[in-house]
Amino acid sequence: MKTRKVSKRVREMWKDPNSVWGKNLPLEKWWHQLSRRGKVVLIYKNGYKTVTIKKGLWGSGKIDEFNKDDSIIHILTSALSQDAYEVYLYPKAKNKTVKEVIANYKKYFKPISSGPIGDPDFKKVLFPL
């Protein structure tokens, strides 16, 4: 198995005590999956499920399908912005596991306001805010 080479810049960033990057690698990896809009976490009354969506949540039309499904309470995703992780998610989660973050998602994820006319309804979608 071939291992991925980590660049000098990334190694230095991980060593920086003021940087959040590299401090909680499982959480960081999970955020990357959410932010690239390939994966979303569907929150149900009795649990959750991670779903991969090929064209993203908005491009696939899946958001309308998820909004119509009454068994889905919330949809966790993230903006493709470093601030979502650096400013909002990591400072609140610190060394929590991904399962702990999902279990207590209301501490880490908040709703956004609805977009302009023509955009899908964001009533179930939560972002790290």
- And the tokens for 102? 């999902």
Tell me the two tokens of residue 64: 């309308």
pTM above 0.85, yes or no: no
Question: What pLDDT does 37 receive?
Answer: 64
Q: Mean pLDDT per segment of 10 residues, for the chain of length 129 residues?
A: 71 72 88 84 92 75 84 89 88 92 93 61 81
pLDDT at 105: 92
Query: How far apart, in whole angstroms, are the C-alpha atoms of residue 47 and residue 62?
Result: 20
Identity of the residue numbered 40:
V
